Amino acid sequence: MIRINCDLCGKNEDNLARALIEGVELDVCAACSKFGKIIQPIKRPNPKEQHQKIMQRAEPKEEKTELLIENYADLIKKRRETMGLSQKDFAFRISEKESLVHHMETDHFTPSIPMARKLEKILGVKLVEEYEEKHETSGKNKKEDGFTLGDFIKIKR
Ligand SMILES: [Zn+2]
């Protein structure tokens, strides 16, 4: 099989991901991927072997991932209207630009988690959901690897 080592720390990892770190594309391990932006998890050449490796590797760990709810844009708009605020008024309340409120409500701008938290307080609605991820040792439902998009959103913000 092809052995792949992390380009950054040199560790032999079965779960490398292609990441953009300081403008350079590198194949890195999970720990090193946090220094950059994940482009894609590396596809293993042999699916059977991949499955086996993942099962061996899986460790139980818990992670909390915070994600915006899917319909945050609609919800923000509805609540703002219910409160009788124009986009301009609302923008003033949250100390942001009116255009940003517009973009948020039309789903063209995704607020960061801290920002969504602020909006939650002002609007009195829940916009952020917390997911507790448990990585079990069985590997039963594991397909790719331990990465989720949420993990990296959390890291970047
Ligand atoms: Zn590494």
* Chunked mean pLDDT (size 10), the chain, 157 residues: 79 87 90 89 60 58 83 96 96 94 94 94 93 63 57 56
Please give the distance, rounded to the nearest whole angstrom, from the Cα atom of residue 23 to the centre of ligand 1.
17
Question: So what's the pLDDT on residue 40?
Answer: 83
- Residues whose CB is under 5 A from ligand 1 (ion)? 6, 8-9, 11, 29, 32
Question: So what's the pLDDT on residue 30?
Answer: 87
The rounded distance, in Å, linking the Cα atoms of 53 and 30 is 15
Question: So what's the pLDDT on residue 28?
Answer: 92
Question: So what's the pLDDT on residue 2?
Answer: 58
Please give the distance, rounded to the nearest whole angstrom, from the Cα atom of residue 100 to the centre of ligand 1.
38
Please give the distance, rounded to the nearest whole angstrom, from the Cα atom of residue 52 to the centre of ligand 1.
21
The class level of CATH for 66-129 reads mainly alpha
Question: So what's the pLDDT on residue 41?
Answer: 78
Question: So what's the pLDDT on residue 16?
Answer: 87
Domain boundaries of the chain, sorted by first residue: 17-61+135-156, 66-129
Q: Are strands 24-28 and 62-68 parallel, antiparallel or unpaired?
A: unpaired
**Residue 132, CB-side half-sphere exposure with 13 Å CA sphere:** 5
Please give the distance, rounded to the nearest whole angstrom, from the Cα atom of residue 34 to the centre of ligand 1.
9
